[in-house]
Amino acid sequence: MPTLNKIRTAILGGPRVTSDADALRPLRSALTLFFALDGFLFAGWVVRIPAIKQQTGASEGALGLALLGVSAGAVATMTLTGRLCRRFGSHPVTVAAALLMCLGIALPPLTHSALALGLVLLVFGAAYGGLNVAMNSAAVDLVAALRRPVMPSFHAAFSVGGMLGAGLGALLAGRLSVTAHLLLLTATGLVAGAAAGRVLLAHPAPGPPRTPEPRADGRRTTTRERKLIAVFGTVALCTAYGEGALADWGALHLRQDLAAPAGLAALGYSVFALAMTLGRLSGTALLERLGQTRLLVAGGTTAALGMLLGSLAPSLWAALAGFAITGLGLANIFPVAVGRAGELAGPGGVAAASTFGYGGMLLGPPAIGILADRFSLPLALTTVAALAAVSALVAYATRRAGTAVSAG
DSSP state of 404: H
Domains 24-207 and 222-408 share a fold: yes
List all residues 6 or more positions away from 8 whose beta carbon is below 8 Å from its beta carbon: none
* 142 vs 342: CA distance, rounded Å: 11
Alpha helices in 173-222 (DSSP H): 178-202
For domain 24-207, which CATH number applies: 3.40.50.300, 3.30.1440.10, 1.20.1250.20, 1.20.1090.10?
1.20.1250.20
**pLDDT for the residue numbered 252:** 81
Report whether 362 contacts 192 (CB < 8 A). no
The architecture of the domain spanning 222-408 is: Up-down Bundle (1.20)
**pLDDT for the residue numbered 227:** 82
Number of neighbouring beta carbons within 10 Å of residue 6: 10
One pLDDT digit (tens) per residue for the chain, 408 residues: 454 455 445 545 554 434 467 778 889 999 999 999 998 998 888 778 778 888 888 876 787 788 788 888 888 898 899 889 889 999 999 999 999 999 999 999 999 998 999 999 999 999 998 998 899 889 888 888 888 888 888 888 988 888 888 788 878 877 889 899 999 999 999 999 999 999 999 887 775 444 443 443 344 567 777 888 888 888 988 888 888 788 778 878 888 899 888 767 767 777 888 898 899 889 889 988 988 889 999 999 999 999 999 999 999 999 999 999 999 999 999 888 888 888 887 778 888 888 888 777 777 777 888 888 888 989 999 999 999 999 999 888 877 655 444 444
Report whether 339 contacts 357 (CB < 8 A). no
List all residues 6 or more positions away from 351 whose beta carbon is below 8 Å from its beta carbon: 78, 79, 81, 82, 133
Closest CA to 140 of 349, 329, 288, 296: 349
Number of neighbouring beta carbons within 10 Å of residue 262: 9
Report whether 179 contacts 48 (CB < 8 A). no
How is the chain split into domains, by residue range?
Answer: 24-207, 222-408
Please state the pTM of the whole predicted model.
Answer: 0.76
* 56 vs 52: CA distance, rounded Å: 6
